Amino acid sequence: MAFGIQVTFDAHDPTKLAEFWALAAGYVFQPPPPGFATWEDFGRSIDLPEERWNDQSALIDPEGRGPRIYLQRVPEGKTAKNRVHLDIDPGPDKAAHVARLVEAGAVVVGEVDEPTGRCTVLQDPEGNEFCVH
């Protein structure tokens, strides 16, 4: 039996980084709990101080197939290469997707040949490495 998986990113600005990853992965923001129009409404209901509303953000696959992506605020910045990274497969229009990601704040690091083909290595706006196949 397989277990549910969540991918977690440490972030300086969880909401801004979630906007980038929603574009990169084709995900959507996780809706607030039933009975709440917004996450801010939910935060108010549990007396979460307004300055903590951007402490986390979450994305989900709109088709329900991929893992949830959770982004959490941490005080420290990224200091080393990722030991785990995401691979994005946008289908046949890889170059256009890479261009959209660069426009959204990604930086192209280079190209790598892998057994499955050529991969473009990028960093997201907070420096996390990932590949587009």
Q: Residue 28's pLDDT is what?
A: 98
Every domain of the chain and the residues it spans: 1-77, 79-133
Residue 57, phi-psi category: left (phi > 0), alpha (psi -120 to 50), beta (remainder) = beta
SS3 category, 29: strand
List CB contacts of 11: < 8 A, sequence separation 6 or more.
Answer: 17, 71, 72, 73, 74, 126
Q: Which fold has domain 79-133?
A: 2,3-Dihydroxybiphenyl 1,2-Dioxygenase; domain 1 (3.10.180)
State the CATH class of domain 1-77: alpha beta
pLDDT in tens, 23-53: 999 999 999 999 999 999 999 999 999 999 9
Q: Residue 38's pLDDT is what?
A: 94
| Single pTM value for the model | 0.91
Q: Residue 78's pLDDT is what?
A: 83
Low pLDDT (below 70) residues in the chain: none
H or E element in which residue 122 lies: strand 117-123
Q: By the 8 A CB rule, do 78 and 94 touch?
A: no
